[in-house]
Structure 1
Amino acid sequence: MGISIEEMNNMQLDVLKEVGNIGAGNAATALAKMLNRKIDMNVPKVEILEFREVAELLGGAEIPVCGIYFNVVGDLTGNIMFLLTLESSKLLANMLLLREENSEILDEIEQSALQEIGNILSGAYISSLTTLTGLNMKISIPSLTTDMAGAILSVPIIQYGQVGDKVLLIETEFHEGNDEIKGYFFLIPDVDSFEILLKSLGVLE
C-alpha cells in the first residue's frame, strides 16, 4: 500500500503545491500561445481538499459544470480532471472560437474547443511534472462531460476511495480584458503513484 495524501507531512505537501504552481504557470503560457493573445493569470491557489469541498468551491453539488477528464499512463498513473463552471467554459470556448454568443448549453464546436484547451493545459502540466521528476508520463485523449458538480465528482470519488478522500487541487484564474475564467485542475494519482511522485521529487526515502 502506498502513501496517501492524508499521510503526507508539511514539506511533502509544500513540494506538491510548488509543482502545482509551476504546472499551472506553464499551462497559462500554453493557453496564451494557443489563443495567440495575452492572457493574465493570478497566482494559482494550490490546496489539499476533500472531494466534497471541491463541489462547495464550485458553488455546490447541484451547480452545472464542465469536466474534462484524462487518464495518465507511464511511470506515474492516475487521472487528471479540469473543472470549469458552465459560465467559465462558455467564455473559454468563445475566446478560442472568437465568438460573442452565450447560449445556455455547449454546442459540439464549443465542446471540441474545450477538449482541445483541456488537452493543451493538461499537456503543459504533465510536461512540467515530467521535467521536474524525470518520470515518463502521457495523457489520454480527453473525455468531456457536462453535469452537476456532485455527479461529475462522484466518478473519481468512487474510483479513488482507496487512496483517501482528499485531492490536490489547483485553482487557476485566467483573465483577458474584463473576462475572468476560473478553472479547477486536479491530479488524482493511483494508490502507488503518490509514493513514486514523492520519491522522484526527493521528499520521501
Structure 2
Amino acid sequence: MDTASTNHSPHLHVLHDVLTAATYEASSAMSVWTGGKISLTLDCVREVPLESISEEFDLGMEPLTMVVLTIDGDAGGTMILTFDEENGRGLAASLFKQEVSTDPEWTETEKSALMETGNILGCAYFNAIARLVQAEFVPSPPAFLQDYGPCVLEQALMLQAQCSYDVLICQTTFLKGEEKLNWHILFIPNPKIGDALQSAQ
C-alpha cells in the first residue's frame, strides 16, 4: 500500500507508521464514498527546509481548488486537499452521477461534495494521531477555497516557520485504478507534535 519515505528523525518514523495506518483507513473510506473508484497512497513523511518548500511541492501558479481543515493545539495541524479544476469538478460530478459542469461558478452542491470528501479524509488522519497521543481532536469545519496553492501553503506553514528552519510535510497521492490523479493531501502537523509523538513511543 505504501511506498512512503522518511528521513532518520525518530518522531518521523512514528508519524510515518501512524499516517500509514491513517492512509489505509482513509483509502477505505474513499472507496466507499466514491463507489470503489478512488484509492490513495502515502508518498512521503519528511522534514524539508523552509526555503525549499515551493520547489519540493510544485503547486504551480494556476489557481487551485482546495479544502482545508485545521486542528488547534500542540498536537494538531492543517490538512490541505488540493485539486485542479478538471479533477475537482470531475469528483463532484461522479459523486452525484451528473455531467461535469462547465459553468464558471461552482454550485453549492459541488462545493459540498468536495468539503465532505475533505471531512472524510481529515477525520481519518486526525483520529489516527489522536489515538496515538491519547488526545481528543475536534477539527474545524472544512473550508472550500479557490486560491493559488503557494499562498495557502505559506499560511499553513506559518506556525512551523516561527519555530524551525525545517518544516514537517506529509504528502499523499490519489489513484483512480492505476491512473494517478492531480489531487493531493498535504498534512502539516503543528511544531510540537514531534514531542507528543516521541512521548507516545
Cα separation, 2, equivalents of 1:114 and 1:171: 17
Contact 2:28 2:39 in 1 (8 A): no
Are residue 67 (structure 1) and residue 69 (structure 2) matched? no
Range 109-118 or range 77-86, more displaced: 77-86
- Rate the CA distance shift 1:196–1:178 in 2: closer, same or farther, 3 A: closer
Tell me how many residue pairs correspond in the alignment.
192
Three-state SS of the structure 2 residue aligned to 1:16 is helix
Contact 2:156 2:188 in 1 (8 A): no
Task: Read off the aligned partner of 1:93 and give its amino acid letter.
Answer: A
- Rate the CA distance shift 1:78–1:125 in 2: closer, same or farther, 3 A: closer
Contact 1:51 1:167 in 2 (8 A): no
- Rate the CA distance shift 1:158–1:178 in 2: closer, same or farther, 3 A: closer
Three-state SS of the structure 1 residue aligned to 2:100 is coil
Structure 2 partner of 1:171:
172
Range 111-120 or range 174-183, more displaced: 174-183
Cα separation, 1, equivalents of 2:53 and 2:24: 21
- Rate the CA distance shift 1:118–1:43 in 2: closer, same or farther, 3 A: closer
Structure 2 partner of 1:3:
none
Task: Read off the aligned partner of 1:172 and give its amino acid letter.
Answer: T
Cα separation, 1, equivalents of 2:163 and 2:79: 15
TM value normalised by structure 2: 0.78
- Rate the CA distance shift 1:98–1:181 in 2: closer, same or farther, 3 A: farther
Q: Percent identity?
A: 20
TM superposition shift of 1:186: 0.8
- Rate the CA distance shift 1:52–1:28 in 2: closer, same or farther, 3 A: farther
Structure 1, unaligned runs of 5 or more? 1-7
Give the root-mean-square deviation of aligned CA atoms. Answer: 2.8
Task: Read off the aligned partner of 1:69 and give its amino acid letter.
Answer: V
Cα separation, 2, equivalents of 1:102 and 1:132: 42
Task: Read off the aligned partner of 1:11 and give its amino acid letter.
Answer: P
Range 98-107 or range 119-128, more displaced: 98-107
- Rate the CA distance shift 1:18–1:85 in 2: closer, same or farther, 3 A: farther
Structure 2 partner of 1:44:
42
Contact 1:74 1:136 in 2 (8 A): no
Cα separation, 2, equivalents of 1:63 and 1:155: 17
Task: Read off the aligned partner of 2:157 and give its amino acid letter.
Answer: I
- Rate the CA distance shift 1:42–1:158 in 2: closer, same or farther, 3 A: closer
Structure 2, unaligned runs of 5 or more? 1-6
TM value normalised by structure 1: 0.77
- Rate the CA distance shift 1:55–1:111 in 2: closer, same or farther, 3 A: farther
Structure 1 partner of 2:192:
192
- Rate the CA distance shift 1:75–1:159 in 2: closer, same or farther, 3 A: closer
Contact 2:11 2:194 in 1 (8 A): no
Three-state SS of the structure 1 residue aligned to 2:138 is strand
Contact 1:20 1:170 in 2 (8 A): no
Structure 2 partner of 1:134:
134
Cα separation, 2, equivalents of 1:39 and 1:131: 28
